[in-house]
Amino acid sequence: MSAENLEVARRFADCWQRSDWDAMLELADPEVEMHATVGGVEEGRVRHGVDEIRRDYEMAEETWDEHTIELEEVLGAGDRVVILHRETMRGKSSGMDLELEAAVLVDFRDGRIVRLQGYMDRAAALEAAGLASE
């Protein structure tokens, strides 16, 4: 496991929490891919580059009156890192509250993020990273 990758993943999570897209540019490869969340409504969709990821995220944010992301744990697995996080949201038009415990699998190349894959099921993310417990 690379200590540098863990640090980059922590910095990425911090940027994500603050929606600091400019700082993310320093952490991600220009051709970074963000794959839609496994188990989510857009599973299979891929976004390319930080600008496309930002635009998509900002459009999605318009549906929420409130949306927070709380980093819980960062786990290393070689050139991959799993970020465990909790998201809380309140629908803008519905007022409905939603809380998710989810994960993001982060792949690295040469110290930069090259691929992000969200998971609704944390166990599936850990398994994909080779960190599943017996």
Dump pLDDT digits (tens) for 35-83: 988 877 677 789 999 889 888 878 877 788 888 889 999 999 888 999 9
Q: Which residue has 């309140």 as its token pair? A: 90
Give residue 59's pLDDT. Answer: 80
How many other CB atoms are found less than 10 A from the CB of residue 125? 24
Spell out the domains of the chain, with CATH numbers in brackets. 3-128 (3.10.450.50)
Instruction: Record the tokens describing residue 92, joined without a space.
Output: 């803008």
Give residue 133's pLDDT. Answer: 63
Dump pLDDT digits (tens) for 94-132: 989 989 999 999 999 999 999 999 999 999 999 999 987
Give residue 105's pLDDT. Answer: 96
| pTM of the full structure | 0.87
Q: Taken in order 36, 42, 47, 50, is the CA torsion positive or negative?
A: negative
Give residue 42's pLDDT. Answer: 76
